[in-house]
């Protein structure tokens, strides 16, 4: 199936421009089963995902923007590939090998999602190799974000004929070494961006523990058992029955393996669509977007849709947040002989029956 036959795809011409001295562009990927994905190289942002519903009708299931101008005025994490460190780092600093590294605070006194010069604010080099594959590259420098070491990132977005969006990355230390944690920050709505809330979605997460956090939602280094916990998602729960979620779930897995495994599943009875998340990463950040669109100005998405609280669901596989400050957490240090490789698959389908 050609991308041109799918309705309502974003227009690449509206994303041609310049940011931070580098050219921006939009790339359209598609497979033969009616799936299409639009990615802007500013932040490697996934701005549109088109997949069929239970009746075979293609529709958009990702929040995003119609143009570069709208993107620049919108939510900074919308659809972005997050790095060099996903989540919050307490007090925007950490000590590594006896040396304290001071980062730039951008969430009160803390650093979130790599700081103000993290990858969501950078233009990636991009090359579309075929109809269903996009290769992107970015180099992280200490002079940009304050993290130790220089990392070369190779990122691939690829569609399969099983209606999967496969995201693979490899980060290599090219100078020094330091921590890293990447994730995809797509905002999903299985009924489409025009449906204001995700409250009718059901969500299951294969995790037995949450990361304990303080009043600023910073992980403390402890884990909270989910047995009898109100946010236990080991059996599917309707999101409208739950409070806002912005928590890190420790994915159930054999700690000696890094194999791909199913960590979460969401569905919507209204559209009949399902979403499975498969990953090699150890943690899943679940965010029901309770703060989306609560800034001073309206956040205007595609086709004039106003982004409001709980209008999207983020399922973000990653390393342990704040691990550089938590000795009890696994610490992902990228060195010359230990690159950071991971894969996440967002697999779309429909409910049976």
Closest CA to 242 of 310, 294, 193: 310
Q: Which residues are catalytic?
A: 185, 316
Phi, psi values for residue 239, rounded to 5°: -60, -30
| Residue 295: per-residue pLDDT | 86
| Residue 156: per-residue pLDDT | 98
Confidence of residue 3 (pLDDT cuts 50, 70, 90): low
Is residue 4's pLDDT more than 70? no
* pTM attached to this predicted model: 0.96
Task: Give the 3-state secondary structure of residue 121.
Answer: helix
Average pLDDT on 158-163 reads: 97
| Residue 6: per-residue pLDDT | 73
Q: Could you tell me the domains of the chain?
A: 3-350 (2.70.98.10)
244 annotated ligand-binding residue: no
Confidence of residue 5 (pLDDT cuts 50, 70, 90): low
Token couple for 153 = 């990132």
Mean pLDDT across the chain: 95
71-121 confidence digits (pLDDT tens): 999 999 999 999 999 999 999 999 999 999 999 999 999 999 999 999 999
Contact between 183 and 318 (Cβ < 8 Å): yes
Confidence of residue 353 (pLDDT cuts 50, 70, 90): low
What's the 3-state SS for 112-167?
A: ECCCCCCHHHCECEEEEEECCEEEEEEEECHHHHCCCCEEEEEEEEEECCCCEEEE
Is residue 194's pLDDT more than 90? no
């Amino acid at each position: 199936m050609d991308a041109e036959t799918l309705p309502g795809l974003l227009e690449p011409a509206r994303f041609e421009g310049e940011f931070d001295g580098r050219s921006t562009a939009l790339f359209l990927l598609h497979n033969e089963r009616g799936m299409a994905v639009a990615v802007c190289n500013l932040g490697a942002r996934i701005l549109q995902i088109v997949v069929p519903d239970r009746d075979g009708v293609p529709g958009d299931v990702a929040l995003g923007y119609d143009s570069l101008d709208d993107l620049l005025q919108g939510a900074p994490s919308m659809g972005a590939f997050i790095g060099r460190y996903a989540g919050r780092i307490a007090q925007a600093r950490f000590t590594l090998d006896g040396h304290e590294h001071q980062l730039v605070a951008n969430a009160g006194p803390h650093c979130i999602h790599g700081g103000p010069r993290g990858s969501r604010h950078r233009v990636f080099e991009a090359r579309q190799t075929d109809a269903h594959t996009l290769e992107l590259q970015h180099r992280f420098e200490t002079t940009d974000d304050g993290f130790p070491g220089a990392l070369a990132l190779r990122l691939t977005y690829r569609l399969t004929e099983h209606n999967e969006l496969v995201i693979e990355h490899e980060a290599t230390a090219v100078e020094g070494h330091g921590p890293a944690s990447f994730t995809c920050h797509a905002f999903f709505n299985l009924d489409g961006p025009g449906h204001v809330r995700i409250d009718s979605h059901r969500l299951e997460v294969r995790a037995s523990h949450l990361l304990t956090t303080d009043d600023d939602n910073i992980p403390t280094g402890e884990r909270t058992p989910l047995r009898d916990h109100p946010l236990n998602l080991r059996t599917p729960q309707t999101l409208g029955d739950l409070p806002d979620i912005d928590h890190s779930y420790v994915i159930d897995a054999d700690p000696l393996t890094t194999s791909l495994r199913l960590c979460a599943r969401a569905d919507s009875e209204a559209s009949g669509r399902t979403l499975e998340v498969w990953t090699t990463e150890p943690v899943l950040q679940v965010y029901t977007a309770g703060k989306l669109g609560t800034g001073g100005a309206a956040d205007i998405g595609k086709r004039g849709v106003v982004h409001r609280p709980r209008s999207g669901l983020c399922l973000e596989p990653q390393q342990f947040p704040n691990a550089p400050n938590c000795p009890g957490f696994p610490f992902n240090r990228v060195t010359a002989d230990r690159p950071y490789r991971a894969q996440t698959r967002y697999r779309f389908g429909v409910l049976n029956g």
